[in-house]
Amino acid sequence: MMSYLLLLLGLFILAIVYVEILHRSRHATVHVFINSMLPLSFFLITISVVAITGKIIDGLFTILICFLWLDTRIQISKWQHSHLCTHCAESCKMFTGPA
């Protein structure tokens, strides 16, 4: 039962991270705090999946999915930056264009 609750908590944190990305807060501290919760959510999800299934291979598969979630977060961030740059007159040293 506890493993299912940890899985739900990890997925809830993951959802909060993605909602915060899409509706970015103007508070840098909130943004940093929420993004620092991403590894915790990956840990909770992976540990709970291993505990629920009892198989290490399922944990490894979950880690792969976590890498895909992390890449999705990076791609959304790049997309948002690109969108902001199209409406900005200043040059940007951090962004060179879509990958």
For the chain (99 residues), the mean pLDDT of every run of 10, in chain order, is 96 93 79 91 97 96 96 88 77 59
Report domain extents, the chain.
2-86
Q: What is the pLDDT of residue 85?
A: 79
Q: What is the pLDDT of residue 95?
A: 57
Among residues 65, 58, 47, the alpha carbon closest in space to that of 2 is found at 47
How far is the C-alpha of 26 from the C-alpha of 43, rounded, in Å?
Answer: 27
How far is the C-alpha of 23 from the C-alpha of 83, rounded, in Å?
Answer: 14
Among residues 39, 41, 36, 40, the alpha carbon closest in space to that of 15 is found at 41
Q: What is the pLDDT of residue 61?
A: 97
DSSP 23: T
- Whether 41 and 14 have beta carbons less than 8 Å apart is answered as yes
